[in-house]
Amino acid sequence: MLLIQIIREKINVRIYNSKTAVINVISFFSLIVTLYSFGNIIYYYGFPKTTESIKVLELIIKICFVYYVLNYFIRFFYSFEPLKFLRTSWFEGMILLLVFIGGLSSFLYRIEPLYSVFDLLSIDHLIPYTHIIVQVLLLIIIMIELGKAGQYISSLKLGPASLLTLSFVVLILSGAGLLMMPEMTTQHHIRFIDALFTSTSASCVTGLVVVDTAVFFTLKGKIIIMLLIQLGGINIISFATFIVTFYRKASGIKHLSLIKDLTSAGSMTESKNILRKIIFYSFIIEGVGCILLFFLWNDQIVFSGNPERFFYSLFHSISAFNNAGFSLFTNNLYELTVRHSYWIHIVIAVLIFLGGLGFIAMQDIIGLNQLRSRFKYPWKKLQVGTKIALYTSFALIVLGALFFYFLEINNTLKEQSIAGSIVTSFFQSVSARTAGYNTIDFSVVSQPTLIIFIFLMFIGASPGSTGGGIKTTTFAILFKSAIATIRGKRNIELYKRNISFDLVNKAYFIVLFSFSLIMVSSFMLSITDGNFTFLQLLFDEVSAFGTVGLSTGITPFLSDAGKYILIATMFIGRIGPLTLALSLSKKVLTTKYKYPNASLMIG
């Protein structure tokens, strides 16, 4: 062992002067190869191919793998602490080791390892999909390489709010570009405005559509939409930080600071733990939802096989939990084969509720440490934020369901049984706050019901969730503030806790900004699309702002100008008015002065 250390020390001395230059060179080439590899995969799945082009693309993939293996070996050689390097990059090393063994056996013995494994396990039917497995391995390496680039985020002169805004812009534009590739649509063409609208709606988990998702997009296009929903739902920055954990050195202070601000964590370490739990909760809940939906689909739905049945289950589970409202049925859940599948509706409603409750509240309710602590110390209660999110959500769901039931009992519910009417009322109340699924025909819904739904959509989900709106906490704070003002109380109290006036001011700003945005946008829509009633335009505008996705059916028929208005509204509604304002504004230099009080009449 001592001899090895001596030899290693001598090697370190020899490579010391050249290490920086070599690492910089391979980092530069890694960026080029990574971008080229990613472009290769995009072209492979996005554009028509010939036999010759497929051979060229596969050769490029092999060359990229050769580079990544050499890159890993060089970084290992130039590391002053090789064992530590192996420990911190073991995942990347295992993948490249498998690739190296596979490539070596293929070169020396003309044996494809994956073919041999599939043959040994008697799963020969998977052999045609070996190229997909290889590309998935390459994609994982690409994600790791991009994760390494995350360490340079701290060099950007951007605050957390600006970085969050920029991340959504990049996601939306990337999604639009991918959806415009010929292989993504059945017609091999989509207008830019429609691709941008669809990408924004998916990334901002809204659910408004201008083309029929079920028939307009191919399987590849639907997968892109599903990925945009997932990335936008759990927040692209959180997902990017999760990718960065593939390479631990990339977790910079600014990056963790962003997650700390977004999740209201108390410390940097806590923010990393919350991030992991966000990913864990998302995948577990979506997985359970997928399994339940897989076994609950109506027999009237004709699937080509279990793979398609599984994809439908996964897509709707992800869409529901992320409160997106996208569906693979032409008429959403009002499709004849699923409109009376009430167990399906209940599962989707539960997924919507959990996604809209918020990750921090969910962790406080079902987190193992929190459950263990409350069991050990019975006096410990839920956090104030959790109580507000939970109780306000329950209150809005119950009130919304009651209003819907009594307003629609002789309209959209008249052909349903009592049990069906109750489930439908419950489902639409849950969905109206942020998800956008519909099990009834919204083109014939009464005006009072539309007004109630506008109110629910405006409030939306809870903070830190996949939903939009002004949020339940904002509504609760303003409600208590109004009561305190009427009763002449100096302090605003919720669950035996004082609410600071800073929070009250932020709540008032959010509501004022949101209301102004909706009114201005609705006014502009009335100019660009005056052939529709103002209530229809207002409903779709509030739906876009609340990232809900419900529509009276006018969205596909809006003018291009109207679509751009809704795109901007969905974007602002997703990142949040407060986040947008912080990203575009600068803080005042000082507040250490005060003008004399003004005397004004109010009311």
Residue 4 has φ and ψ, to the nearest 5°, of -65, -40
**pLDDT (mean) for 142-154:** 69
Decide which of 118 and 378 is more confident: 378
Encoding tokens for residue 363?
């962790």
Please determine, for residue 555, whether its predicted confidence score (pLDDT) is greater than 60.
Answer: yes
* Distance of alpha carbon 437 from alpha carbon 432, whole angstroms: 8
d(CA 23, CA 42): 28
Using an 8 Å Cβ cutoff, are 452 and 396 in contact?
no
Category of 416 on φ-ψ map: left (φ > 0), alpha (ψ -120 to 50) or beta: beta
Q: Which one, of 164, 141, 72, 68, lies nearest residue 574 by Cα?
A: 164
pLDDT reported for residue 22: 82
pLDDT per residue as tens digits for the range 331-363: 889 988 898 899 999 999 999 999 888 777 887
Residue in the structure block whose two tokens are 């989707």: 348
Domain parsing of the chain, residue ranges? 1-155, 345-584
d(CA 452, CA 533): 17
Would you place residue 120 in the very low, low, confident or very high pLDDT band (cuts 50, 70, 90)? low
Q: Assess contact for 37 and 61: CB atoms under 8 A.
A: yes
pLDDT tens column, 210-257:
999 999 999 999 999 999 999 888 765 455 444 444 444 444 545 555
Q: Which range is least confidently modeled, 115-129, 241-255, 275-289, 584-598?
A: 241-255
180 — pLDDT class (breaks 50, 70, 90): very high
Q: What pairs with residue 492 in β-bridges? A: 499
Identify the CA nearest to 38 among candidates 156, 119, 122, 149. Answer: 149
The owner of tokens 């049984």 is 417
pLDDT band at 266 (very low <50, low <70, confident <90, very high): very low
What span, in angstroms and rounded, lies between the C-alpha atoms of 262 and 362? 15
Tell me which H or E stretch contains 494.
Answer: strand 492-494
Residue-wise pLDDT for 43-102, tens only, equals 988 898 888 888 888 888 888 888 988 988 888 888 878 788 888 888 888 888 888 887
Give, for 240, the enclosing helix (H) or strand (E). Answer: helix 236-244
What b/e sequence results for 452-469 when a residue is b if at least 16 CB atoms lie within 10 Å of its CB, and e otherwise? bbbbbbbbbbbbbbbbbb
The pLDDT value recorded for residue 97 is: 84
* Encoded tokens for 217: 């997009």
Q: How far apart are CA 403 and CA 448, in angstroms?
A: 9
In this structure, how many other beta carbons lie within 10 angstroms of the beta carbon of residue 26?
18
**Phi, then psi, of 495 in degrees rounded to 5:** 50, 50
Give the DSSP H/E element, type plus range, for residue 499: strand 497-499
CA distances from 425 to 21, 189, 334, 418, 553 (A): 66, 39, 14, 10, 20
Q: Is the pLDDT score of 572 beyond 70? A: yes
Please give the backbone phi and psi of residue 459, each rounded to the nearest 5 degrees, phi first.
-70, -50
- Residue 82's pLDDT is 79
Which residue has 């032409």 as its token pair? 330
Q: Which one, of 433, 516, 504, 500, lies nearest residue 468 by Cα?
A: 433
Residue range 287-302, pLDDT digits in tens: 999 999 999 998 888 8
Residue 459 is predicted with a pLDDT of 92
pTM for the complete prediction? 0.86
The 3-class secondary structure across 159-177, one letter per residue, is CHHHHHHHHHHHHHHHHHH
HSE value, Cβ hemisphere, 13 Å, CA-based, for 263: 31
Judged by DSSP in three states, 596 sits in coil
Task: Report d(CA 176, CA 191) in Å as an integer.
Answer: 10
pLDDT score recorded for residue 590: 59
CB atoms inside a 10 Å sphere around CB 127: 13
Give the tens place of pLDDT for each residue, 411-459: 889 888 899 999 999 999 999 888 889 998 888 899 999 999 999 999 9
**3-state SS, residue 185:** strand
- Band (pLDDT 50/70/90 cuts) for residue 574 is confident
Res 537: pLDDT: 94
As a whole number of angstroms, the distance between CA 603 and CA 587 comes to 31
Q: What is the DSSP letter of 444?
A: G
